[in-house]
Amino acid sequence: MSGKGSPRLEPGATIGVLGGGQLGRMLALAAAPLGLKVAVFDPAPGSPAFEVSGTHVCADWDDEAALARFADLCDVITLEFENVPVPAVEFLAARVPVRPGAGSLRVSQDRLVEKEFIAGLGIAVAPFAAVGSLDSLQTALAALGPDAILKTRRMGYDGKGQVRLSAGSDPGQAWQAIGEAPAILEGVVPFVAETSAIIARGMDGAIAAWDCPRNDHHGGILRRSSLPGPLDGPAQDRAVAIAGTIAAALDHVGVLTVEFFLTADGALLVNEIAPRTHNSGHWSIEGAHASQFTNNIRAVAGWPLAPTARRFVAVEMINLIGADVLEVEKLISETDAWLHLYGKSDVRDGRKMGHITRVCAL
């Protein structure tokens, strides 16, 4: 039973993807073996997902004629980018199911709303305070500082829109550095490791989860995700249960990622959530029975979720960031690893150009 709004898509149906970056590209690549077609919407010409999807629409998020054309192409719509403007999602959702829906986006687009929502579920987060002026920054610093991070509420990712403060920092300078935009101040969490719970949630509420990797960042950008991760069995169950609670509260369908700080006493604090597949889950393409991309497609298509168990004793995923990708000669010679290049021609500092996954079978 195919067609718009039907609970389970037939092979041959078209899944729309909002956003055409590398996550959209890997979603399209995962849909193909399931016999599902993909249409991609992105305002940027030459988006990495365009060249691996059957159709695309390249237009601005406020172009209603283009959005309507896109909705006509799709049986269901999912997303790879959490900053899709909510009015665009609402416009589409009036025509075709969008999974996850606007509710998941509203929460994850705003760090303050996100933190309040998660804390409201009784889940631990980094200590935080709302900042709307230099005065409120100074008050928040007195409560949470001196070591703290000032983050814009909206549009921050990969460490962008953030300033670190410590004893002796000038709050006025920090406030200017983030453009005096609505912000939150977070106390610095003395974590021993960072990890993430990535889960897929089906339309029936069923959940599939992947092992939680150890995530290493450099300069606010994920550099490496590796398994086994930092959590023992019970701690991983706790992380997955937290992600499940958040997903259920959002009535989320699709993949949801929850980033955590692990502290020395074993506490897990939520850093942030992403209502989508995540860089720290790329290892699952080869390292797990079904990848995060396959189960995102299955979930939004109304299909049962596929098994997510890890297939190797150890897996590591290394991001190829900026000039890393210029070592292409060396990378393609490494034949016992899986190389992924995202087809981005323009090499820029901090830009994710690809990744490489290595495994240890033992």
If binding is defined by CB under 6 A, does position 174 make contact with ligand AMP?
A: no
Residues 8-67, interacting with ligand AMP (CB under 6 A) = none
Strands (E), the chain: 14-18, 37-41, 55-57, 76-79, 128-131, 148-152, 162-165, 183-187, 191-201, 207-209, 214-218, 221-227, 254-263, 268-274, 314-321, 337-341, 352-360
Retrieve residue 340's tokens. Answer: 């992924």
> Binding to ligand AMP by residue 217, rule CB under 6 A?
yes
Alpha helices in the chain (DSSP H): 22-31, 64-73, 86-93, 102-108, 111-120, 134-144, 171-177, 233-250, 284-287, 292-300, 328-333
- Which of 47, 257, 271, 280 is in the footprint of ligand AMP by CB under 6 A? 271
CB 272 within 8 Å of CB 114: yes
Site string for ligand AMP, 241-260 (x = CB under 6 A): ------------------x-
d(CA 61, CA 84): 7
The 55-57 sheet, strands edge to edge = 55-57, 37-41, 14-18, 76-79
The residue written with tokens 């495994």 in the block is 359
Distant-in-sequence, close-in-space partners of 320: CB < 8 Å, separation ≥ 6: 331, 341, 352, 353, 354, 355, 356
Q: Candidates 13-21, 59-67, 75-83, 184-192: pick the segment binding ligand AMP (CB under 6 A).
A: 184-192
Nearest distance, CB of residue 19 and ligand AMP, angstroms:
18
In the complex, minimum distance from the CB of residue 151 to ligand AMP, in angstroms, rounded to a whole number: 6
Identified binder of ligand AMP from the candidate list 132, 220, 322, 343, rule CB under 6 A: 220
- Closest distance of CB 276 from ligand AMP, Å: 14
Shortest reach from residue 146's CB to ligand AMP, in Å? 13
- Beta carbon of residue 356, minimum distance to ligand AMP (angstroms, whole number): 21
Please, what is the minimum distance in Å from the beta carbon of residue 279 to ligand AMP? 11
- 161 burial via Cβ count (<10 Å: 0-12, 13-18, 19+): buried
Number of residues that bind ligand AMP (CB under 6 A): 13
Minimum CB separation from ligand AMP for residue 272, in Å? 5
* Among residues 42, 211, 272, 316, the one that binds ligand AMP under rule CB under 6 A: 272
Q: Which residue, 211 or 272, has its beta carbon nearer to ligand AMP?
A: 272
Nearer to ligand AMP by Cβ, of 184 and 320: the residue is 184
Q: Does 189 bind ligand AMP (CB under 6 A)?
A: yes
Name which of 75 and 259 has its Cβ closer to ligand AMP: 259
Total number of residues shown for the chain: 362
In the complex, minimum distance from the CB of residue 259 to ligand AMP, in angstroms, rounded to a whole number: 6
- Binds ligand AMP by CB under 6 A, chosen from 110, 194, 211, 324: 194
Select 6 or 263, whichever has its Cβ closest to ligand AMP: 263
How far apart (Å, rounded) are the C-alpha atoms in residues 47 and 20? 5
| Binding region for ligand AMP (CB under 6 A) out of 26-34, 168-176, 181-189, 336-344 | 181-189
Exposed/middle/buried for 33, CB within 10 Å: 0-12, 13-18, 19+? exposed
Write each residue from 136 to 165 as x if it is in contact with ligand AMP (CB under 6 A), else as -, in one continuous string: -------------x------x--x------
User: How many Å apart are CA 197 and CA 1, to the nearest integer?
Assistant: 33
Residue 231 vs 297, nearer CB to ligand AMP: 231
**What does DSSP say about strands 352-360 and 337-341: parallel, antiparallel, or unpaired?**
antiparallel
Residue 188 binding ligand AMP, by CB under 6 A: yes
Q: Which stretch binds ligand AMP (CB under 6 A): 51-59, 185-193, 241-249, 326-334?
A: 185-193
Does residue 108 interact with ligand AMP by CB under 6 A? no
Spell out the residues 6+ positions from residue 211 whose beta carbon is closer than 8 angstroms to its own: 227, 228, 229, 236, 288, 310
Whose CA is closest to 250, among 126, 91, 123, 125?
Answer: 123
Which residues would be at the binding site for ligand AMP (CB under 6 A)?
126, 149, 156, 159, 186, 188-189, 194, 217, 220, 259, 271-272
